[in-house]
Amino acid sequence: MSILIDHNTKVLIQGMTGKEGAKAATAMLEYGTKVVCGVTPGKGGQEVEGKPIFNSLKEAFVRFPDITTSAIYVPPFAAKAAVLEAIENNIPTINVIVERIPIRDTAYFLAAAREKNIRVIGPSSLGYIAPGIGRIGVVGGPLVQEIFQPGSIGVISRSGGMTNELSWQIRKAGMGQSAAVHVGGDLLMGTTYGDLLKLFQEDAQTKAVVIFGEHGGWYEFDVGRGQSAEEKSRTLADVGVMVAERYEDLVTLIQPFA
């Protein structure tokens, strides 16, 4: 069992004909992700990695009506329209890889997604991975096989680099990951730590979760709001959650759960 992606996930890439979109398509397909097609206005009829390109999501759904996830690789000025098109076509999960999106645009499409109960990962998210099952985006990069292996530790990170680094430390310690998610580093976050913790809590495979956040961020405060650091650690420990005082202590804390 995994969160966000499974063997039945079918992925569409918006902006697949661009440099980053094509690179992501190759990376996902090589890892076994079921990328079925791409969408780039004006590029319909082309192919990338043997997958058809359509001019719109409406055209794509005629051929592939069971698309479950969109990965968005378009310029920042086009991101709002691309996300709204995915929302209008009721794609359940949307991974917004795009960086430098105007905050007003992000606020608008996140509100639209909430109205339709659609999950948005990002913006500015490298993606996510369920080791041995599939990945959305390029999380793990070319070293994905060395960094990730199936296991019982969930990883949530604000930093793309630390998503890989935390996962590598877990792997070096002889453990594996149930899933690793880069939530993105923008001010507004589509899927929060709390949202993902609920998914991990319901996942039978996951025994422990590691979170890498930002000092003073409001999403971080949501995880343990209203208590001092010392009180928070004691309270979390009472319900089975341990807080590492130092990065070096991380692996030691999670090893008993692996």
Tens-digit pLDDT profile for residues 141-166: 999 999 999 999 999 999 999 999 99
Q: Considering the domain boundaries, does residue 2 fall inside one?
A: no
- 4 part of a folded domain: no
Q: What is the domain-level CATH number for residue 156?
A: 3.40.50.720
Task: State what percent of residues in the chain have pLDDT above 90.
Answer: 80
- Compute the average pLDDT of residues 93-122: 98
176 within some domain: yes
Overall number of domains in the chain: 1
- Inter-CA distances, 116 with 86, 89, 111, 168, 258, Å: 11, 11, 9, 36, 36
Tens-place pLDDT, residues 170-188: 999 999 999 999 999 999 9
The pLDDT of residue 235 is 58
Residue 3 resides in a domain: no
Assess if residue 62 is contained within a domain: yes
Q: How confident is the model at residue 248 (pLDDT cuts 50, 70, 90)?
A: confident
State the SS3 of the chain. CCCCCCCCCEEEEECCCCHHHHHHHHHHHHCCCEEEEEECCCCCCCEECCEEEECCHHHHHHHCCCCCEEEECCCHHHHHHHHHHHHHCCCCEEEECCCCCCHHHHHHHHHHHHHCCCEEECCCCCEEEECCCEEEECCCHHHHHHHCCEEEEEEEECCHHHHHHHHHHHHHCCCCEEEEEECCCCCCCCCCHHHHHHHHHCCCCCCEEEEECCCCCHHHHHHCCCCCHHHHHHHHHHCCCCCCCCHHHHHHHHHHHC
For residue 105, the enclosing domain spans 10-257
pLDDT at 226 over 90: no
Q: Give the pLDDT confidence score for residue 251 in this predicted structure.
A: 78
- Domain annotation covers residue 5: no
Task: Flag whether 90 is in a domain.
Answer: yes
Over residues 16-27, the pLDDT tens digits come to: 999 999 999 999
What are the pLDDT digits (tens) for 44-75? Answer: 999 999 999 999 999 999 999 999 999 999 99
Say if residue 123's pLDDT is above 50.
yes
Q: Judge whether 152 lies within some domain.
A: yes
Strands 127-130 vs 150-157: parallel, antiparallel or unpaired: unpaired
**Could you tell me the pTM of the whole model?**
0.87
**In the predicted model, what is the mean pLDDT of the chain?**
91
pLDDT of residue 242: 66
Q: For residues 2 and 76, which has the higher predicted lDDT (pLDDT)?
A: 76
Does residue 244 surpass a pLDDT of 80?
A: no
